[in-house]
Structure 1
Amino acid sequence: MTDDMADVPEAGRAADVPEAAGEAAPEPLGLARTPTGHAGVDAHLERLAEADHLTADGHVAVYEDVHRGLRDALTALDAPPVPGPYENRS
């Protein structure tokens, strides 16, 4: 996951896009994000809120980053367990 919208092109940020006559700035959709209980997944899903403040052309970078993070979280579920420290059973 990236921080501070590093993957979002400057042109896609709402603050950098001048409003044309009669056009409104991007508005949040107000969609509720229900926590999953998995901190890593919840962090990626929460990042979707960043897209609320971007113009449509800035959404792609956020969606791709979230998709990559969620895919990595799913892939980690298939990884073999990491062995714990050797336990001396004498």
Structure 2
Amino acid sequence: MSESVSEADSVAGSVAEPEVVGEVEPEYDPAAPPPLNVPRTPTGNAEVDAQLERLADADHLATDGHLEVYEDVHGGLRDALTALDVRLGPPAPARH
């Protein structure tokens, strides 16, 4: 009987307990760059606001990764401003 008990204990001991799945907090890394936490006030223009929110991506990058984000945002803002110059509707009549 002692053998069956030890076998049962070894089987019970080998059963893995279910893993608890939940939110995992990111580990604190003192060497990681601190977030910039620059406030971004919505403008009311969805295209511009999306570009401003893209700036938050720089919060998680080292300084050398900021350039790519800034260039991307700059291009998006330039496109949004250029779109404002496009005239909607029929072309204006030519003056002679």
TM-score when normalising by structure 2: 0.60
* Pairs within 5 Å for 1:11-90: 24-82=31-89
Give the TM-score normalised by structure 1. 0.64
Q: RMSD between aligned alpha carbons?
A: 1.5
Query: Structure 2: any 5+ residue segments left out of the alignment?
Result: 1-28, 91-96
Identity of aligned residues (%): 69
Report which structure shows greater RCO (CA 8 Å, sep ≥6). Answer: 1
* Count of paired positions: 62
Change in Cα spacing, 1:60 to 1:80, as seen in structure 2 (3 Å) is same
Distance apart, 1:30 and its partner CA:
1.3
Unaligned runs of 5+ in 1: 1-18, 84-90
Aligned-pair distance for 1:82?
4.3
Quote how far apart the aligned CAs of 1:24 are. 1.8
Structure ranking higher in helix proportion: 2
CA distance in 1, matches of 2:64, 2:53: 19
Distance (whole Å) between structure 2 residues aligned to residue 31 and residue 82 of structure 1: 39
Amino acid at match of 1:31: V
Which deviations, in whole Å up to 9, do the C-alpha atoms of 1:19-75 show, x marking residues without a partner? 8xxx62111111110000000000000000000000011000000000000000000
Structure exhibiting the larger radius of gyration computed from Cα positions: 2
